[in-house]
Amino acid sequence: MATVTSNVKKLPSDIEIARNAHLAPLTEVAAKVGIDESDLVPYGRHVAKVELEVIEKMADRPDAKYVVVTAITPTPLGEGKTTTAVGLAQGLARIGRKPVLALRQPSLGPVFGIKGGAAGGGYSQVVPMETLNLHLTGDFHAITAAHNLLAAMVANHLHFGNELGLDDIQWRRVMDMNDRSLRHIIEGCGAKTDGVTRQTGFDITAASEVMVIMALATSLADLRKRLGRIVVGFTTAKKPVTAEEIGAAGAMAALLKDALMPNLMQTLENTPAFIHTGPFGNIAIGNSSIIADRVGIKAGDILLTEAGFAADMGAERFFNVKCRAAGLTPQAAVLVATVRALKSHSGRYEVKAGKPLPEGMLQESPEDVEAGCENLVKHIQIIRDFGVQPVVAINAFPTDFDSEHDVIRRTAEKMGARVAVSTHVADGGEGAMELARTVVEACEDEVHFTPTYEFEDSLEEKITKIATKVYGADGVELSPAAAKSLKLYSDQGYGHLPVLIAKTQMSLSHDASLKGAPTGWTLPVREVRLAAGAGYVYAICGNMMTMPGLSKSPAAMRIDIDDEGNVQGLF
């Protein structure tokens, strides 16, 4: 039986496709969505920052439709949310719309670790990919510097007598690198003049609270305030000590002011793409920046923004935290589904990162897909509960079969959800035109945006509501330490904050091995922490890795420059 991807063809490598791209001058790309050259600050030949003043300048324009791109519970290989977002943007442009894309910036850690680069794939990429993957405009470096300036000033405060009485210090350092040896360090190991000896460690920059602050700040003034509110630790009397009290918040803002301008790039088909901030998907917000969305919502007529991981994680935070902080109303959600992910949700196969797919998964088997479809059903329901309509986007692979796509289509339709197949990786925007038309249709739906909880709910209620209403848990089990922290944070006036739940992305539950749509389980909260500057409390369920390590043969070993100075080995 024929596979659905009619034009099964041997695709050139991502980097070959990217190198052959015809990049348009960014002024032209910006002009497509009404951003004037005078509002662009060029950074290199193919990236420009957009002045924040455009937000005011464009205030009278109507808002674009705000569409989040999310996914079903993925395999460790990922199900192509980024490529779908890029392809869909290209497809929307092809049917005469003015799309704007908003994506997260990749972190250097994974670039040199496993992935060797991330910018979409095939004929749905953001270019130039070397620029996107290496430094871009230096925003991550600015965030690293601001984070570590605060750390240096905290250590300096201890060194000069600890006037504020800091006892329990929670502010670590960050580096945009996979470096397991820095997870746990002892600093100040020299003479007395070399600082106070204490245990601490490094996280990857994407896990920095400053990264989240950049993602959630609605203006430069808001950024400055959030930085001041960062709690670096607590006194013996459990009083929080802030970055403002340390005296670091102003200098941090000075380091970050240019980084707050979103970075404009383009897709292979010259569609405008904002690449801005890159907070981790587990302990951080996992969404790109509000500032980029605030610019994009006034620039185009459809704003596509990608949320990390699956709908229970990235989209939940998008709706409950980001939309409310931004004051923006979501219109629709694209729910990316793949045959391989649904087959894995059947529980019949185990997919491992860096390993080929199990042989059986490549056989035609609508039954396997059917057996995994309860995950899709649950994610459709999750999105609907926010009062938003999902569009199921079947991200087609050359190894898929029509019969398998039919199962997905029927499942979605049975739920009354829109659905479309997209072959954007092989065909670029042309392959996403059906999806584009379906999304445009969904943008006419009436929306009754309904967050999962109210800010007035207690912190514990908020956690419980996410666990039960979104994840499908029976309830929540707080460890004594978690319960104590929740009480402390409420007592200190942080009870009104939203909550994030840090858990695995590989299951709707906290247990990566539970596929499909698990029921009859309780969410165990090991620990609760405060991110007062970012403006949330986060509950940790399981071991969260905040500083990845390199593999035995990291991607960095394959990366080099050639005689012309071109980067080799990024893909």
* Annotated binding-site positions: 75-82
Q: Which of 540, 520, 515 is nearest to 530 (CA)?
A: 540
Residue-wise over 241-256: b if at least 16 C-beta within 10 A, else e? bbbbbbebbebbbebb
CB-wise, 135 or 487, nearer to a copy of itself? Answer: 135
Look up residue 504 and give its DSSP letter: -
Interface residue with a copy of itself, options 398, 451, 524, 554 (CB under 8 A): 554
Under the binding rule (CB under 8 A), the answer on residue 152 touching a copy of itself is: yes
Question: Of 98 and 159, which has the nearer Cβ to a copy of itself?
Answer: 159
Regarding 160 and contact with a copy of itself (CB under 8 A), the answer is yes
* Closest distance to a copy of itself from the beta carbon of 28 (Å): 16
- Min dist CB 568 to a copy of itself, Å, is 8
DSSP string, 219-286: SHHHHHHHHHH-EEEEETT--EEEHHHHT-HHHHHHHHTTTTSPEEEEETT--EEEE-----SSSS--
Contact predicate 507/513, CB 8 Å = yes
Residues 6 or more apart in contact with residue 139 via CB below 8 angstroms: 105, 214, 259, 263, 276, 277
Question: What angle do helix axes 209-216 and 139-159 make, rounded to 10 degrees?
Answer: 130
Nearer to a copy of itself, 115 or 183 (CB): 183
Report if residue 12 touches a copy of itself, rule: CB under 8 A.
no
Give the separation between CA 393 and CA 36, rounded to whole angstroms. Answer: 33
Q: Is 224 in the site for a copy of itself (CB under 8 A)?
A: yes
Give the per-residue contact string, 97-136, with a copy of itself (x = CB under 8 A; - = no): -----------x---x-----------------x---xx-
Least separation, in Å, of the C-beta of 58 and a copy of itself? Answer: 18
Based on the shown chain and the rule CB under 8 A, indicate whether residue 354 belongs to the binding site for a copy of itself. no
Report if residue 253 touches a copy of itself, rule: CB under 8 A.
yes
Q: Please work out the total of residues on this chain that contact a copy of itself, with binding judged by CB under 8 A.
A: 78
Give the position of tokens 């923004």: 305
Among residues 20 and 181, whose Cβ is nearest to a copy of itself? 181
Q: How far is the CB of 210 from a copy of itself (least distance, A)?
A: 14
CB of 155 to a copy of itself, least distance (A): 4
Task: Give the Cβ contact number of residue 104 at 10 Å.
Answer: 28
Enumerate the β-bridge partners of residue 568: 560
Tell me whether residue 101 or residue 227 sits nearer to a copy of itself (CB atom). Answer: 227
Segment 44 to 73, residues that bind a copy of itself, using CB under 8 A: 44-45, 49, 52
Q: Which of 17, 255, 333, 531 binds a copy of itself (CB under 8 A)?
A: 255
Residues 35, 26: Cα–Cα separation, whole Å = 10
8: contact with a copy of itself by CB under 8 A: no
Q: Which is nearer to a copy of itself, 101 or 182 (CB)?
A: 182
Exposure of 72 in the CB half-sphere (CA atoms within 13 A): 31
Q: Using the rule CB under 8 A, is 145 a contact of a copy of itself?
A: yes
State yes or no: residue 352 binds a copy of itself (CB under 8 A).
no
From candidates 61, 184, 352, 496, binder to a copy of itself by CB under 8 A: 184
Site membership for a copy of itself, residue 556 (CB under 8 A):
yes
Q: According to the binding rule CB under 8 A, does residue 194 interact with a copy of itself? A: yes
Quick one: DSSP state of residue 494? I
Binding residues for ATP: 75-82
d(CA 382, CA 490) in angstroms, rounded, equals 28
* Residues 154, 195: Cα–Cα separation, whole Å: 11
If phi > 0 it is left, if psi is from -120 to 50 it is alpha, else beta; for residue 279 that is: beta
Nearest CB to a copy of itself, comparing residues 7 and 199: 199
Query: Could you say which residues in the range 291-350 bind a copy of itself, by CB under 8 A?
Result: none
By CB under 8 A, what part of segment 163-182 binds a copy of itself?
175-182
As a whole number of angstroms, the distance between CA 100 and CA 265 comes to: 11
Per-residue 3-state assignment (H helix, E strand, C coil) for 282-313: CCCCCECCHHHHHHHHHHCCEEEEEECCCHHH
| Contacting a copy of itself within 518-537 (CB under 8 A) | none
Sorted by sequence, the CB contacts under 8 Å of residue 79 that are 6+ apart come out as 71, 72, 336, 337, 338, 340, 341, 395
Out of 11, 220, 415, 447, which residue is the one contacting a copy of itself (CB under 8 A)? 220
Q: Is residue 26 involved in binding a copy of itself (CB under 8 A)?
A: no
Residue 199 binds a copy of itself, judged by CB under 8 A:
yes
Query: How far is Cα 212 from Cα 228, in angstroms, rounded to an integer?
Result: 14
Residue identified by tokens 């002009």 is: 31
The distance of closest approach from Cβ of residue 471 to a copy of itself in the complex, given in angstroms and rounded to an integer, is: 28
